[in-house]
Amino acid sequence: MALLLAGVVGSVVPGLPGPALSVAGVVGYWWATGYTAPGPVALAGLVLLGLVGLAADWLAAPLGAKAGGASTRTTAIAGVVGFAMLFVLGPLGVLVGVGGTVFALELRDSGDVDASLRAAAATTAAVLGGALAQVVLTGAMLVGFLLAV
C-alpha cells in the first residue's frame, strides 16, 4: 500500500518513478499473497495502467517537443537540462529548464521567435500533461487495487 501511495506522490514529483512504484506495490502484494490477490484480470489491468503511466513519463516531453517542431537534438538537450534544473529549482526547474532550453536552442537554430515559442510551449504543455496523466493513472491504480483486494 505504501508503494501505491508513493506512486501517486511520485507522479507529481519529477525524478521519482511514480508509475514504477505503483507497479512494484501491486506486484509485491500479489507475490506476498502467494499469487492469489489481486486476481489475474485485475493484476493485468493494474500493471497495464502502470505501463501506460511509464510511457507517459518517458515519452510526453519528447513527443511534445517534436509536435511543437523542436529537433531531436534540442529535445535531448532539454531533457538533460530539465533533469539538472530539478536539483536547482525543484519541479519548477524541470519546466523552466525544458521550456527555456527548447526556446533558446530553437531560436538559435531557426531565428524564428514565434516557432521557438510554439515549440517551447508545446514541450512544456506535454511535460505538464504527462504529469497529469501519471497522477490519473497511478490514482486509478490505487483505487482499482483497493477495489480488487
Find all residues with CB under 8 Å of 20, minimum gap 6, and list them. 7, 50, 54
pTM recorded for the entire structure: 0.84
Res 77: pLDDT: 93
| Percent of the chain predicted with pLDDT > 90 | 71
pLDDT in tens, the chain (149 residues): 999 999 999 988 877 889 999 999 999 999 999 999 999 999 999 999 999 999 988 888 888 888 998 998 999 999 899 889 989 988 889 889 999 999 999 999 999 999 999 999 999 999 899 989 999 999 999 999 999 99
